[in-house]
Amino acid sequence: MAFEFEIIATDGDARAGILHTPHGDIPTPIFAPVGTLATVKAVPPRDLEELAVSLVLSNTYHLFLRPGDELVRDMGGLHEFMRWNGPILTDSGGFQVFSLTQINKIDEDGVTFKSHLDGSMKRLNPEISMGIQQNLGADIIMAFDHCPPPKDRETVEQAVARTHRWLERCREAHPDDDTQALFGIVQGGIYPDLREQSAKFVTDIDLKGYAIGGLAVGETKAEMYDTLDHTLPFMPKEKPRYLMGVGEPDDLVEAITRGIDIFDCVIPTRLARHGAAFTHDGRINLRNAQYKLQEEPIDPQLDNYASRFSRGYIRHLVVAKELLAHYLISLHNIDFLVSHAANMRQAIIEGRLKEYKDSFLPRYLQSDSTDS
């Protein structure tokens, strides 16, 4: 029972569930903040717990380069290293290898690349990725995949085939899901036939969950939603479905409505570092002078530590480049997305997800443009 997924309610294609893990239960749908280097930027684990965060992500590529996965292992694994007692998911490093580095060689075995830190030559392949993630000790680990540009068909075809071959090697290198659950990744760009092909292949391998990768990487929102429509029918309903790297509030609504369970994204803390915040009336940029004298909190519908402070004060911190601004806005943005997913979960349980969607989206989207 260490890794079991149970669906407790449905509303159309949307599901409310519980993913049981050795470090606690994950209620789904769920938004997970990203702790790339074993820390969610500017926000300590204590505050994540207070926000009812139940899953945190860390990054295989970055931790492999610094401080090194063997060091993390020797320090007791990620849970002990970062003092986070809840579930952790690590990605495979594939996305970063193909997006952040100067690729030197892609071959059947894996990828040779230059470190973005010091230019030294490094190697990642399915077996190395599995070994790194085993050292890190996350609850959920991801198969090493090839994430291509979404609209280059020839490259996407090659990436799908390579991802499938690498998944088989990941399964062979990590055959036991008792302590770490391996998730496979469906690729295919924006091409329905390739997504169907990939979904059928990946889900034919018995894994604890399945992810959809290669979206939110340059395609339009309409193309993303169409791709989900073409992909999800070929993914098993009894397993958790994870949409990688997606975290915009409107995207959560559209994807949850279609049957996605797990989300992650760096967007809440990245926006915070630029003074931008989510609100139910759209995204706002607290650098703007219109907030200088506003006494209300960033979003009166939320109640977290950042809610104690006025928009005017937080704007002052942003303009003055005070570090407290990063902390408060990051805290707020994470709370917004975590609460947003939790509210949709409750709406699914109560059979009113359409009401929630019809109430949330027009209000959020009508203002979410010029201010940010």
Residues known to be catalytic: 91, 264
Q: How far apart are CA 166 and CA 145, in angstroms?
A: 7
Please answer whether residues 356 and 343 qualify as being in contact, where contact means their C-beta atoms are separated by less than 8 angstroms: yes
* Region class of 307: left (phi > 0), else alpha (psi between -120 and 50), else beta: alpha
For 133, other C-beta atoms within 10 Å of its C-beta total: 30
Torsion (CA) 168, 138, 211, 104 in degrees, nearest 10: -60
Q: What is 238-259 written as a DSSP string?
A: TS-EEETT---HHHHHHHHHHT
Q: How far apart are CA 44 and CA 85, in angstroms?
A: 12
Q: How far apart are CA 19 and CA 345, in angstroms?
A: 13
Torsion (CA) 77, 48, 144, 175 in degrees, nearest 10: 50
Q: How far apart are CA 175 and CA 179, in angstroms?
A: 11
